[in-house]
């Protein structure tokens, strides 16, 4: 993103972040996404980003998905996943409850950086509201973890049409 677009990018980050947090606060959304994360390796924030783009009317293709995945993979594998694994390892350890809370905070910060990486990975367009529903399904179909139509339909339903 060029320097002239920094304010636009910052606004988009805030818009996306608030959208993602609002959806994630819904227990059914959170549980459905966490289940897919566990069973298929879904990167929840990436799926949310694709759905958010679709709701904005921005459709993406395979090249966009590949560009996004290339931009976020080092961060996800090097920071997000190790933090999550350590927090989960401490789940049943009462002596680590304070450290686990710290890790939750670090995970949230890491997710926020991931959101910025997602925003920066694509040229962003102004919001279009026409045909948003087909764009959500199309965008989510680009994720390898959601190639199965039934699984993708579940995720599309989670984010609303």
Task: List the domain boundaries for the chain.
Answer: 3-159
Write down the pLDDT at residue 123. Answer: 85
Per-residue pLDDT of the chain (161 residues; tens, 9 = 90+): 444 445 555 899 999 999 999 999 999 999 999 999 999 999 999 999 999 999 998 999 999 999 999 999 999 999 999 999 999 999 889 999 899 999 999 999 999 999 999 999 998 877 665 554 578 999 999 999 998 888 998 899 888 75
Count how many residues are written for the chain. Answer: 161
Query: How many CB atoms neighbour CB 107 within 10 A?
Result: 16
pTM: 0.88
Write down the pLDDT at residue 9. Answer: 59
CA distances from 103 to 56, 91, 92, 100, 107 (A): 32, 11, 15, 5, 6
């Amino acid at each position: 993103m060029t320097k002239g677009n920094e304010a636009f990018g910052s606004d988009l980050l805030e818009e996306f972040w608030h959208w993602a947090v609002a959806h994630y606060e819904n227990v059914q959304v959170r549980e459905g996404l966490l289940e897919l994360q566990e069973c298929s390796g879904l990167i929840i924030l990436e799926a949310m980003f694709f759905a958010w783009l679709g709701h904005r009317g921005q459709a993406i293709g395979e090249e966009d998905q590949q560009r996004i995945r290339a931009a976020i993979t080092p961060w996800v594998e090097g920071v997000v996943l190790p933090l999550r694994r350590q927090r989960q390892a401490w789940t049943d350890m009462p002596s680590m409850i304070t450290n686990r809370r710290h890790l939750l905070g670090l995970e949230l910060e890491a997710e926020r950086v991931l959101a910025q990486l997602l925003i920066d990975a694509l040229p962003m367009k102004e919001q279009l509201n026409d045909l948003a529903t087909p764009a959500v399904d199309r965008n989510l179909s680009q994720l390898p973890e959601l190639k199965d139509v039934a699984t993708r339909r579940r995720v599309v339903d989670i984010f609303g049409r």
